[in-house]
Structure 1
Amino acid sequence: MSFTRRLFTSIAVAGALALSPLAAVAQDAKAPVVVFAAASLKNALDQIAKDWTKESGVEVKSSYAASSALAKQIEQAAPADLFISADVPWMDYVAQKDLIDPASRSDLLGNKLVLVAATDWSKGDVDLKPGVDIAGLLGDGRLAMGEVASVPAGKYGKAALEKLGVWTQVSAKVAGAENVRAALALVSRGEAPLGVVYKTDAAADKGVKIVGTFPADSHPAIVYPAAKLKSATSASADAFLKYLSSAKAKAVFEAAGFTVLAGN
């Protein structure tokens, strides 16, 4: 074989190896893990990602929004490795599109639904029982909550208000927000006197206080499922998903007010 032919063959083999799946995995060993996560997870998940990156050397890039918006982005082939939804229906939506690895799916967390007010609220705690006069407490103000047709916190909130028999009185006063953190901000900034958010959101904003907790049986159980997407490209996606159920991650989630379901 001539020198020129041997050189051509060597280049061809090297090119084939570079394009092989094994080579791609090796090249992506330190590729960031891209996580699409419900907005209410931001504080806890940012801390957990920071801790994991310190241990593994692999960066985590998190995108936070309403679960509905994230599910639609995933459907449109937005690049992500993991999805953590704030409710089961939006994870089911992605699963029905055959976009997740079903074996990777688990129920990761639980939460509570609360009524919040700004810290200068002077009307005291609100007993969230059937017939509660939320409309009267609002006066001319608005009730901040996630969009009730799509945002999980909004859907939970509407269900709870319906169960308490007061939805028809407050529905015209609702200020729908694109996600639960946006609803929280409306109360924290004084733009709405009351808001319906998760317990963990209230703990993350010093500008609000909890004035009532909705009974657990007034709405569907709040469950955060997590799964790896079939389109995942990071070699570390499985490792980070597993880390979310570790004792270290559990401590961070519980400190933020979540109930950890995975591993229990």
Structure 2
Amino acid sequence: MYARLFPIIAVLAALLAPAAAASDLTVFAAASMREAMERIASGFEEETGTKVVFSFAGTGVLARQIEAGAPADLFVSADADWMDYVTENGSIDAASVRQVASNALVLVGASGAAALELEASKIADFLDDQRMAMADPDTVPAGRYGRTALENLGLWQSVAGRLAPMENVRIALASVARGDTPLGLVYRTDAEIEPNVAVLATFPDTSHPEIRYLAALTEGSGNPAAEPFLDYLTGPDAREILQSLGFVTDKVE
């Protein structure tokens, strides 16, 4: 049922999204990039005078919106699969795709909670009769990375029936910060901006594919500021902001 509803929800979101002024640059970006993108945009606006307008959501939702014709100038994806999807359906300028940053996966709990070993019994004891929040593993990159990591560590079967899947990784983070769920699987950079959670465990880089944030121009964008902003995203000022928030930029093109 949810799979059938997903494209409909994406189209409705695209149609109901607030309109930007014709001269504004519209960027659709993964929710986990909010703070970084807003800081980067502030510097770009100061240099160029061009206002940058954002739509933040789960990468899959944004990709569907772009596919449905939403008026985005750039797309910043939290994984390669969704970028491939919009590229293959002709929504993205394939030649413009660039890697912006990478990230890591962590388990978080309430601030002050003790470290947690990545073992099925330890996680089960920690959860007790409650659930673990994570981005939806069927549609959201953070969820897909998380599921792969859990599978590779032999933990998926023990937690699969105890998940609280969320629309995006920031909602999963908020669930832990509010105390709605005792444990959450999020990006390291998410944990660093939320004072009400603590990192309890970090997944080995070898347990999941590299978490790649990719940016590209949309095929229908005619905004002259789109390409300069894409260049700015991979420039030294943007790299400094990304690194300050915990992103890894050593593979930025």
- Within the candidate set 153, 161, 164, 2:153 is matched to 164
Read off the aligned partner of 2:116 and give its amino acid letter.
Answer: V
- Within the candidate set 30, 44, 59, 2:51 is matched to 59
- Within the candidate set 69, 78, 82, 2:74 is matched to 82
Q: How does 1:182-261 map to 2 (within 5 A)?
A: 182-261=171-250
Q: 1:63 and 1:261, CA in 2 relative to 1: closer, same or farther beyond 3 A?
A: farther
SS at match of 2:200: strand
Aligned length: 233
Query: TM-score, normalized by length of structure 1?
Result: 0.85
Q: Does the CA contact (< 8 Å) of 2:32 and 2:190 recur in 1?
A: yes
Q: Does the CA contact (< 8 Å) of 1:115 and 1:212 recur in 2?
A: yes
In the alignment, the residues of structure 1 paired with residue 115 and residue 106 of structure 2 have an alpha-carbon distance, to the nearest angstrom, of 11
Q: Which residue of 2 aligns with 1:39?
A: 31
In the alignment, the residues of structure 2 paired with residue 167 and residue 134 of structure 1 have an alpha-carbon distance, to the nearest angstrom, of 11
Q: Which residue of 2 aligns with 1:10?
A: none
Q: CA deviation at 1:191?
A: 0.3
> Is structure 2 residue 116 aligned with structure 1 residue 126?
yes
Residues 12-56 of structure 1: CA distance to partner in whole angstroms, max 9, x if unpaired?
xxxxxxxxxxxxxxxxxx811110000000011101101110111
Larger Rg: 1
Q: Does the CA contact (< 8 Å) of 2:135 and 2:167 recur in 1?
A: yes
> Is structure 2 residue 59 aligned with structure 1 residue 70?
no
Using the aligned pairs only, state the percent identity: 44
Q: CA deviation at 1:132?
A: 5.6
Q: 1:263 and 1:221, CA in 2 relative to 1: closer, same or farther beyond 3 A?
A: closer
Query: TM-score, normalized by length of structure 2?
Result: 0.89
In the alignment, the residues of structure 2 paired with residue 172 and residue 242 of structure 1 have an alpha-carbon distance, to the nearest angstrom, of 44
Residues 178-212 of structure 1: CA distance to partner in whole angstroms, max 9, x if unpaired?
00000000000000001000000001111111111
> Is structure 2 residue 169 aligned with structure 1 residue 180?
yes
Q: Which runs of 5+ in 2 are unaligned?
A: 1-21
Q: 1:263 and 1:198, CA in 2 relative to 1: closer, same or farther beyond 3 A?
A: closer
Read off the aligned partner of 2:230 and give its amino acid letter.
Answer: L
Q: Does the CA contact (< 8 Å) of 1:132 and 1:166 recur in 2?
A: no
In the alignment, the residues of structure 2 paired with residue 132 and residue 101 of structure 1 have an alpha-carbon distance, to the nearest angstrom, of 47
Q: CA deviation at 1:262?
A: 5.1
Q: 1:246 and 1:152, CA in 2 relative to 1: closer, same or farther beyond 3 A?
A: same
Q: Does the CA contact (< 8 Å) of 2:91 and 2:220 recur in 1?
A: yes
Q: Which runs of 5+ in 1 are unaligned?
A: 1-29
Q: Does the CA contact (< 8 Å) of 2:134 and 2:172 recur in 1?
A: yes
Q: Which residue of 2 aligns with 1:49?
A: 41
In the alignment, the residues of structure 2 paired with residue 201 and residue 142 of structure 1 have an alpha-carbon distance, to the nearest angstrom, of 19
Q: Does the CA contact (< 8 Å) of 1:187 and 1:193 recur in 2?
A: yes
Q: Does the CA contact (< 8 Å) of 2:29 and 2:56 recur in 1?
A: yes
Q: Does the CA contact (< 8 Å) of 1:133 and 1:166 recur in 2?
A: no
Residues 153-177 of structure 1: CA distance to partner in whole angstroms, max 9, x if unpaired?
0111111111111111111110000
Q: Does the CA contact (< 8 Å) of 2:100 and 2:214 recur in 1?
A: yes
In the alignment, the residues of structure 2 paired with residue 102 and residue 204 of structure 1 have an alpha-carbon distance, to the nearest angstrom, of 32
Moved over 6 A (4+): none
In the alignment, the residues of structure 2 paired with residue 169 and residue 132 of structure 1 have an alpha-carbon distance, to the nearest angstrom, of 8
